[in-house]
Structure 1
């Protein structure tokens, strides 16, 4: 595999996903869900094709079938990481419900394992959460905040000041709930935070909250969410 020179991440374009799936029907379904995010898709049906795709361009997420005609997903993940200095997160998908298969995939470095058939909502949430961790999102989305607050700059600034004043305690409550295993309290706080982030255009903080809502028991998602909050408050 020749790595070549990867282009830098262009924040103006949709994220790009490497989709590895050899079954035509399943690939069509997965591709439709990914493109609806929206995101760009580079499909591959074999391990060899996936390596070629990764050599040509940078991806923000790898979505990999664990069983391939010319190898397996865990092997492919190691090869991709060996050739990509800045490897994105990787999601595995499989029809095998054996817990041992899931455990082996997580041990190999996959962020999560999606079991087919899966609902569109389940797939979309997993994709968004993974992409939120891989993409360099801006702290503030001024256009979104302006639209949410009737294009009144004074309202935007006032609500952002209130949001930032409340953010340290909100972050502390999230950490306490997560570390104590109080998942009901954690989900309730994350639900309120998600709405607040949308109103003030706190885009990266909102992505961190969404990632944690998708996986409330994941330490990586908790750290990603906390880091986004720390960066806003200094």
Structure 2
């Protein structure tokens, strides 16, 4: 296989030499250009695997070159070289489609990490398509979900921070895992953290690590979650719950790509991609003074909004089938028989608003599987609010009998050390319709 080729565009000869030498040590060839016009000519003469371009050029800007590449070479990753501290330009470049950025003076470690990620994206490593069977599913054939999957595929091709919004239970972590699994960092770790679950006085230690003796209880050096996610993705869920002092350090970690452990004298570089999420409106949190505006601007480079389940009711039935199949596989007693929804139960789910979204659907079905008789799930087994069930079971007079039978089956299953689902499967295999009281 031929050596990878990079196009490097900068009007400073020293920068060009530094990058060319660094790439050479990585076994990457380089062609250079001093202007936008020269860069366009090099693109026609060669087929580079990535492009590194300065933002300020004599005959235009790196953004001009980025737009040209997006139009004529859409699969070519482009990284921006920006002036130190000029994060507004870096953010604007990533919003326009840049793969990543590196600040002057160029940190060679950060440059090498960037180049390696870009080359993996270009297929110099295992292609994404060969790993799709290990990716988590994001189910649904509604237009909304088709659009979400297409956007996730695009987001996986960039290192820009992504902010995922949506109500609780819509699958924000699942979307983050998909972005990670389809991108060049897929061989690195995916580290999820719920910011709201960390005690406020331990947030900085958990995120950035600490040195021995830096506070009471710090008995040894400890790496933080940033270090644990090195080479991969750090998913910060419920970011709005992060206290303001930690927000300051998080902003610096994202901008400078380095962290300072609590009690440490110096910062250490970290190579992570940040994906964050919250079910709360961060813009409103900024207005109320509970979230830093500069951090919001930095993490919200690209926003991915996940629709509520009630916005895509056509996905409810296929989701239910998938969940029921998963519950059957998880049963301690394997069986070929899977629980299934009656027409009336499926219709009731379609009418329900699902304030808890997909997570609530999973809970409803898991409860229904545990409480229903046989494999067919009826409306009453769902235990939806009465107005949603339209009194289907109440009018029949059978609800009390069914509930009593359910309790008896549950008690018997517990006595045998089995799950209710496994107990019912055992009854079905033995040809027993129900368990009778002594």
TM (norm. structure 2) is 0.32
Partner in structure 2 of residue 113 of structure 1: 101
Q: 2:192 aligns with which of 178, 194, 211?
A: 178
**Aligned 8 A contact 1:174 1:186 in 2:** no
Q: For 2:69 and 2:229, locate their aligned partners in 1 and report how far apart those are by CA, in whole Å.
A: 37
Q: Call closer, same or farther: CA 1:190–1:23 in 2, change over 3 Å.
A: closer
Query: 1:205-216 alignment to 2 at 5 Å?
Result: 214-216=271-273
Q: For 1:104 and 1:216, locate their aligned partners in 2 and report how far apart those are by CA, in whole Å.
A: 17
**Aligned 8 A contact 1:46 1:69 in 2:** yes
**Aligned 8 A contact 2:80 2:98 in 1:** yes
Q: Call closer, same or farther: CA 1:21–1:187 in 2, change over 3 Å.
A: same
**Aligned 8 A contact 2:229 2:272 in 1:** no
Larger RCO, structures 1/2 (Cα 8 Å, 6+ apart): 1
Q: For 2:12 and 2:229, locate their aligned partners in 1 and report how far apart those are by CA, in whole Å.
A: 40
Partner in structure 2 of residue 217 of structure 1: 274
**Aligned 8 A contact 1:178 1:216 in 2:** no
Q: For 2:94 and 2:64, locate their aligned partners in 1 and report how far apart those are by CA, in whole Å.
A: 13
Q: For 1:115 and 1:31, locate their aligned partners in 2 and report how far apart those are by CA, in whole Å.
A: 16
Q: 1:188 aligns with which of 217, 228, 235?
A: 228
Partner in structure 1 of residue 434 of structure 2: none
Between structure 1 and structure 2, the one with the greater Rg is 2
**Aligned 8 A contact 2:8 2:51 in 1:** yes
Q: Call closer, same or farther: CA 1:44–1:217 in 2, change over 3 Å.
A: same
Partner in structure 2 of residue 60 of structure 1: 49
SS of the counterpart of 1:113? strand
Q: 1:70 aligns with which of 49, 59, 63?
A: 59
Task: Choose 24-33 or 94-103, whichever is displaced more.
Answer: 94-103
Q: For 1:72 and 1:120, locate their aligned partners in 2 and report how far apart those are by CA, in whole Å.
A: 23
User: Does residue 91 of structure 2 align to residue 100 of structure 1?
Assistant: no
**Aligned 8 A contact 1:60 1:88 in 2:** yes
Task: Choose 126-135 or 41-50, whichever is displaced more.
Answer: 126-135
Gaps of at least 5 residues in structure 2 are 128-185, 196-205, 208-223, 232-269, 277-438
Q: For 1:119 and 1:190, locate their aligned partners in 2 and report how far apart those are by CA, in whole Å.
A: 16
Q: 2:19 aligns with which of 6, 14, 30?
A: 30
Offset of residue 187 of structure 1 = 4.1
Partner in structure 1 of residue 117 of structure 2: 129
Moved over 6 A (4+): none
Partner in structure 1 of residue 312 of structure 2: none
The RMSD of aligned alpha carbons is 2.7
| Higher helix proportion | 1
Gaps of at least 5 residues in structure 1 are 1-11, 140-170, 192-212, 220-234
Task: Choose 72-81 or 96-105, whichever is displaced more.
Answer: 96-105
Offset of residue 132 of structure 1 = 1.7
Offset of residue 218 of structure 1 = 4.8
**Aligned 8 A contact 1:65 1:93 in 2:** yes
Q: For 1:63 and 1:178, locate their aligned partners in 2 and report how far apart those are by CA, in whole Å.
A: 31
Offset of residue 48 of structure 1 = 0.5
Offset of residue 174 of structure 1 = 4.5
Offset of residue 117 of structure 1 = 0.3
Q: For 1:58 and 1:99, locate their aligned partners in 2 and report how far apart those are by CA, in whole Å.
A: 30
Q: For 1:60 and 1:101, locate their aligned partners in 2 and report how far apart those are by CA, in whole Å.
A: 24
